A and B are shown apart, each in its own frame.
Chain A
Amino acid sequence: MKTRILSVAEVRDSFARHGYVCNDRIAMAVYLAAQLRKPVLVEGPPGVGKTELAKASAAFLEAPLIRLQCYEGLDEARALYEWKYGKQLLYTQLLREQLGGRLEGAQGLAESMARLGDLGDAFYSETFLEPRPLLQALRADESPVLLIDEVDKADQEFEAFLLELLSDYQISIPELGTVKARHEPLVFLTSNNSRELSDALKRRCLHLYIPYPDAALEQQIIAARVPEASQALRKQLVDFVQRLRTLDLKKQPAISESIDWARALLLLHVESLDPVLVDSTLNLLLKHEEDVRQVRDDLPSLLK
């Protein structure tokens, strides 16, 4: 992993080389996160490149990316570690004779228990531990980028459970004690704001809000991701998408959708936008029937 980041500009330029075009604000977040060793909480509407930011950072830092996708009901067993119950059972079966041997000659229940107690820890050791993403991140051989995606989808309990990891880069496992990070990971958390995150979590993170990009930035992004598109088309396309975002839609088109659209237009060998073409490709941009209908009605004025 790269250990030294010299400046915000370095982050921005390197991101651009990896195809992630961003403004100074985003680059500043990555710079500060690396300098202060703090996690970054990234919020913003869907499809503005929150997850992409973590990937770009991993590429820039030449670090492995470990990803934990959150969902309702996610618990420690899925996120941190689990005991390999099957293996444990198998071992007890196979070792039955051994165990029997150990117990041989024991006087009474108390002594048998004591003998079993001596080897109790054997079944809760590294051999039977199944590390999940968080533990993987803590025990990685080099400092990784840890992406905790859509943390707002997880339950409140899980959020509380993350606090120890986020502030001290360590986690307490009852059977093993405290596991401290070998190399502190760079953590990104993303949230779509489906519910408000707790203040405790926010307090431990840098908070980055990524809005929809302005026209100039979006043109740059499309130029980086779909370089084959001509500049005239790019400008037309971005202007149209920007205008769509000012409408009252159920779901506004995000950057990822503009990119998809640009690619589609390219496949269709389009040189400039016209109403018929836009009409037929509109469902690449808009994902709700109502939105499509609303835009279709205003198409002539929107394309002006």
Chain B
Amino acid sequence: MSEQVIGRFVKVLRGAEVSVSPAETLDAVQVTALLGYQDREALKQGLSLVLAKSEHDKLAFDECFDDFFRFDGVPPVAPDTGSEQPPSLMERLRDMLPGQQGGAGAGASSALGQQLLADDSAQLSRQMAEAARQVGLDNIRVITQKGLYGRRIMQALGGEALDQEIIALDSSERRQDQRLGAELRSARDQLREAVREYVADQFLLQAREQGRQLREQMLREANLRTLAEFRDVRKQVEKMARRLARKHGRRQRRARRGQLDGRRTTVMALKHGGVPASLVWRRRRIQKPKLMVICDVSSSVSAAARFLLLFLYAVNDVVPSVRSFAFASRFGEVTSLFNTMSSDQAINEVMDRYAGSGTDYGAMLRDFLGQCESDLDQRTTVIILGDARNNDLPAEQQLLGHIGRRCRQVFWLNPEARSRWGSGDSVMSLYQPYCRDALPCSNLAGLERFVDRLLRDLTRG
């Protein structure tokens, strides 16, 4: 019993983006065995210790716990549940059951009928949960299945026998039987209602996880231009960035330990009469990478710029030094905006100030060189994001070549598909030879791939 309940609870937690491992699930079973279900608050605290392992997870956990253990036939012991909380299933059942009326319960012959009349709501709600397990309510996926699962649960509870009994009682001659039949009928209808609500609640819980996975997949693959309109995109980007930062942060540390420094070890050993008592490691000096990002923020590609900047400022731990530039009709450095505001605000501000049309990539390269040529060195990586549509102005690709020689590498990100590069007024094919790599980035998955590669490259030292 306990294992199954916890198993389903863990499923709900995972749906709320709390990651729970099988080992932790086992811990939770142990905790439940130790604490029991009697003291709800204690159980909540105990499970929270083993299942939710960050501040954020704890919040999600509290919510899920309150949701989940409302259904499961656990007596709500805590008296201070607050008035706005919906009544537990048991309370609902208790309200709707007719109650024991002078031994009327003895009249019903079907098992379910007897229970309904005997007002055993605790028993009933336990059975309902059990029936739900039997019919596999966990597998409910689409909203139209609600009726089906509701019927199956009624069946598992013994609804058929009850139906037959009601029919038999209705057709009976005795007034007492008829009254009993009417009573049973109304109790059955109320039970049906309770089952329906139970199924609906479970559906919501289950759908949450399904929906999240689908949504995540969709967000990763949707075109960046349409993406800006979704509300939790930012959260998704931050999540992806966090993952990358964690991955590469670790690598940065590993690279720090060098090889044994034979020469210095021997020198140190002289102190101990030639015995190499202490070893000296050759420390590899990690050169702090510098990043310069130039973003085209004209209307056609501004969405991509928004996400690239979000991404790069979110992996700040790994690449602390990012300078950003924006251009559309004019060019300018926007780094200071990011230092004083949250990246979201800063990006909005950039869009307000620089958005426009009529991009001139040649002029941009010239402006950039004018401002930053002396800052370019062998630790600097330059990233240019734009569609390279130059409005038939001179491309001045030799300037990009000059930048490429002055810095460590140049990457070009183009929000257009590769097949469209060089078509119309796009001068991408002229710029491409001067870049270490040019990549299309039309969705979050593409951006993530690029940032991943960039960080790997930067942290290898």
Contacts and interface: CB of A to CB of B under 8 A. Distances in A.
Interface in B244-275: 246, 249-250, 253-254, 272-273, 275
A226 B387 CA distance: 67
Interface stretch (B20-28, B208-216, B372-380): B20-28
B46 A203 contact: no
Contacts of B45: 24-25, 28
Nearest to A24: B45
A207 B34 contact: no
A199 B27 contact: no
Interface string B13-42: 000000101011001001100100000011
A185 to B, nearest CB: 19
The A interface, classified by DSSP as helix, strand, loop or mixed, is: helix
Interface string B38-74: 0001100110111011110010000000000000000
Interface residues of B, number: 32
Nearest to A200: B21
A156 interface: yes
A28 B253 contact: no
A29 B49 contact: yes
B257 to A, nearest CB: 9
Most buried by B among A24, A89, A207: A207
A157 interface: yes
A160 B24 CA distance: 18
A280 B109 CA distance: 82
Contact of A207 (B49, B275, B317): B49
A206 B49 contact: yes
A102 interface: no
Interface string B388-424: 0000000000000000000000000000000000000
B277 interface: yes
A199 B19 contact: yes
Interface in A18-76: 24-25, 28-29, 32, 35-36, 38, 40-41, 43
A203 B24 contact: yes
A8 B49 contact: no
A24 B27 CA distance: 20
B49 A208 contact: yes
Interface string A165-196: 00000000000000000000000000000011
B233 to A, nearest CB: 22
B278 interface: yes
B31 A36 contact: yes
A155 interface: yes
Interface of B: 19, 21, 23-24, 27, 30-31, 34, 41-42, 45-46, 48-50, 52-55, 58, 242, 246, 249-250, 253-254, 272-273, 275, 277-278, 317
Given A206-B49, A207-B52, 8 more contacts: A89-B272, A156-B249, A157-B253, A195-B249, A202-B53, A203-B24, A206-B27, A208-B49
The 5 A-B pairs of least Cβ separation, nearest first, read A207-B53, A202-B53, A206-B49, A28-B45, A85-B277
26 contacts: A24-B41, A28-B42, A28-B49, A29-B49, A32-B31, A32-B46, A32-B50, A35-B34, A36-B30, A38-B27, A40-B49, A43-B55, A86-B277, A89-B272, A89-B273, A89-B277, A156-B250, A195-B249, A199-B21, A203-B24, A203-B53, A206-B27, A206-B50, A209-B54, A209-B55, A209-B58
Interface of A: 8, 24-25, 28-29, 32, 35-36, 38, 40-41, 43, 85-86, 89, 92-93, 155-157, 195-196, 199, 202-209
